[in-house]
């Protein structure tokens, strides 16, 4: 039975159900339970092939149709027209840090970067290594990366403006994107991809590691405007040239087939169960509002680390009065079935990643634990 035929109405999931916990990991992260159940049901025999998706050839016509269908669903969810393509790569967002400047700002060509923390900083440094004349056009470093910069010093000759849509480490997110940039926008959207509707009219390329909102680690999704791809440098190694993936429908070499398969099931869940990205955004906004409300209403016991107008809907970061209390909070949280709440290793603290597949029940369980913990601290 396919996902489209199953009853996929969201079901409350207690930590003990299926032996599962509430998963707040920053990535790899939670996947929708119906998607996991579907993959489990057809793990040994996918589509009557007598083979697992892990075994079947990527050249099999059924697999090719599956890959094409995943691309079509992604573009459809975002309302993108024929000028856009979705392609499937490997190497994570980190490989995109190099592929983008190698293609679009090679040989000393200028490019603008907005530094909002670790991942955009890495992207900028990689662009410099790749020979681009990459400059920081705006940064929130002076504010401890607690906000999104308000002003950007554009280079009118920049080939693109690069930004990281959501900072998983610091818990900040672009709620709206620059509209006055003279260059096309390029963005790492790994941690908020398909969490809300997007107007991509100012964008030329979006990339996302799948392991936050879309699928397992090992798959990278790139949305690219076809005319932008054609401006890329010629003569690059084939696997570093976006045109290679466009001309081969992501089949130049063996793609991450299982990751694409899971992503395709997630697309069906977003369409059939959730009802599209507007509904997904409403669910995510409600989850975040509840959790930020608990933080702000704690009388200062819990303190959010991001400025209010830049708070992420995906990664809620906060601190407790002492590192010792934070360690106890994490340990007791695990005892309550709340896993993955530790902050990024570079900053510490607490981080609740409440991606698409984290159900509202998980957030309510966390809020209840926070209230109980504060009473006994």
What are the catalytic residues? 119, 188, 212
The first and second tokens of residue 216, run together, are 């397992």
DSSP state of 309: G
CA–CA distance, 361 with 317 (Å, rounded to integer): 19
Closest CA to 290 of 313, 266, 269: 313
Helix (H) or strand (E) holding 209: strand 203-209
What phi and psi, each to the nearest 5 degrees, are found at residue 167? -95, 100
Which residues in 60-99 are b (16+ Cβ under 10 Å) and which e?
eeebeebbeebbebbbebbebeeebbbbbbeebbbbbbbb
Indicate the angle between helix axes 61-78 and 257-268, nearest 10 degrees.
50
Closest CA to 223 of 256, 200, 240: 200
CA–CA distance, 32 with 27 (Å, rounded to integer): 14
Q: Provide the 3-class DSSP secondary structure of residue 43.
A: coil
The DSSP bridge partners found for residue 222 are 87, 207
CA 351 to chain centre: 15
CA–CA distance, 29 with 315 (Å, rounded to integer): 12
CA–CA distance, 10 with 273 (Å, rounded to integer): 8
Cβ–Cβ < 8 Å for 88, 255: yes
Closest CA to 222 of 99, 135, 113: 99
CA–CA distance, 118 with 347 (Å, rounded to integer): 11
Cβ–Cβ < 8 Å for 161, 183: yes
């Amino acid at each position: 039975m396919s996902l489209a035929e199953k009853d996929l109405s969201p079901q409350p999931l207690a930590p003990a159900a299926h032996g599962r916990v509430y998963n707040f990991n920053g990535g790899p992260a939670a996947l929708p339970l119906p998607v996991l159940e579907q993959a489990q049901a057809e793990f040994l025999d996918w589509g009557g092939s007598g083979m697992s998706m892990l075994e079947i050839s990527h050249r099999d016509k059924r697999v090719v149709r599956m890959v094409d269908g995943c691309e079509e669903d992604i573009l459809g969810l975002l309302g993108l027209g024929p000028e856009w393509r979705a392609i499937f790569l490997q190497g994570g967002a980190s490989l995109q840090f190099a592929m983008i400047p190698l293609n679009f700002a090679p040989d000393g060509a200028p490019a603008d970067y907005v530094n909002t923390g670790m991942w955009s900083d890495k992207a900028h440094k990689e662009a410099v290594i790749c020979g681009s004349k990459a400059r920081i056009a705006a940064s929130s470093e002076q504010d401890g990366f607690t906000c999104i910069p308000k002003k950007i010093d554009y280079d009118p000759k920049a080939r693109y403006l690069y930004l990281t849509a959501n900072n998983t480490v610091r818990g900040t997110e672009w709620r709206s994107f620059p509209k006055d940039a003279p260059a096309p926008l390029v963005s790492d959207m790994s941690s908020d991809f398909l969490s809300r509707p997007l107007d991509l009219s100012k964008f030329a390329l979006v990339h996302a590691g799948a392991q936050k909102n879309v699928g397992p680690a090992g798959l990278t999704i790139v949305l690219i405007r076809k005319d932008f791809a054609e401006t890329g440098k010629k003569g690059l190694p084939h696997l570093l040239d976006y045109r290679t993936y466009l001309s081969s429908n992501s089949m130049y070499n063996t793609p991450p087939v299982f990751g694409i398969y899971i992503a395709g099931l997630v697309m069906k869940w977003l369409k059939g169960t959730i009802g599209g990205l507007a509904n997904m955004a409403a669910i995510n906004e409600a989850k975040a509002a509840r959790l930020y409300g608990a933080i702000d209403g704690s009388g200062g016991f819990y303190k959010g680390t991001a400025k209010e107008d830049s708070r992420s809907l995906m990664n809620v970061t906060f601190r407790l009065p002492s590192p010792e209390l934070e360690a106890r909070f994490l340990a007791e949280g695990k005892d309550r079935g709340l896993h993955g709440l530790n902050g990024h290793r570079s900053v510490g603290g607490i981080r609740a990643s409440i991606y698409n597949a984290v159900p509202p029940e998980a957030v309510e369980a966390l809020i209840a634990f926070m209230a109980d913990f504060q009473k006994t601290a």
